[in-house]
Amino acid sequence: MKKEKVLERIIRVASELFYKQGYNSTGINQIIAEADIAIGSLYNHFSSKNDLLQAYLIKEELGWFEGYENSISRVSDPKEKLLTLIDYRKKLQQASKFAGCHFIKIVSEIGEGNPSVSTFAIQHKEKQKDLIRTLANEYGTEAKLADTDSIADHIFLLIEGAVVTSTINKQTDSFDEIKKIVQGLLP
């Protein structure tokens, strides 16, 4: 088994804590203790807790898109890729025990108090929307649909709503429902 590097361990531990208990409720001393490192090791890699937060968000974004790419690796049909995206988000909710979206959580906790964080979260959601738009356009070209931008916006909003609903209800029913709706949007 490959030994985890200090930098990777710091980011992993901080990520788990930020997601599980919140950024504001997580202290540097807790990260140091749970990562089992010296304080100097943390500050050799990160000059502040905010820098660590940025690393967390980057890690989560890369993981999100990598996970989606892995989930569609054998799917070629654009409609199936969109439906697989719904299944992927459902799987993320189940795996997190309905803890919700990393980016929604951090923005709701920090708000406008940290513009770089809110900007990063907005950009992340825009990348997700662009992904949906690309797939909707591909499908629209094949199916000769006119308004794929509107369809993409609807799918994005449905998925985001399902994430929030499943976080509140601790169930995946909302994903099953929006999958039916999306199938209706994509004849």
| Residues 105-128 pLDDT 10s | 999 999 888 899 999 999 999 999
Burial 111-122 (b: 16+ CB within 10 A, else e): eeebeebbebbe
Residues of the chain with pLDDT under 70: 1-3
Tell me which DSSP letter residue 83 carries. Answer: H
Amino acid identity for residue 9 in this structure: R
Q: What whole-number distance in Å separates Cα of residue 178 and Cα of residue 130?
A: 19
Measured CA to CA, the distance from residue 12 to residue 101 in angstroms comes to 17
List all residues 6 or more positions away from 164 whose beta carbon is below 8 Å from its beta carbon.
100, 101, 104
Residue reference for tokens 């090791």: 41
Amino acid, res. 39: I
Residue with tokens 């995206």: 85
150 in Cβ contact with 88 (< 8 Å) = no
Kindly give, in sequence order, each residue whose CB lies less than 8 Å from that of residue 79, ignoring residues fewer than 6 positions away: 139, 143, 186
The amino acid at 144:
K
The pLDDT of residue 112 is 81
Check residue 187 and give its pLDDT. Answer: 84
Q: Is 23 helix (H, G, I), strand (E, B) or coil?
A: coil
Q: What pLDDT sits at residue 2?
A: 58
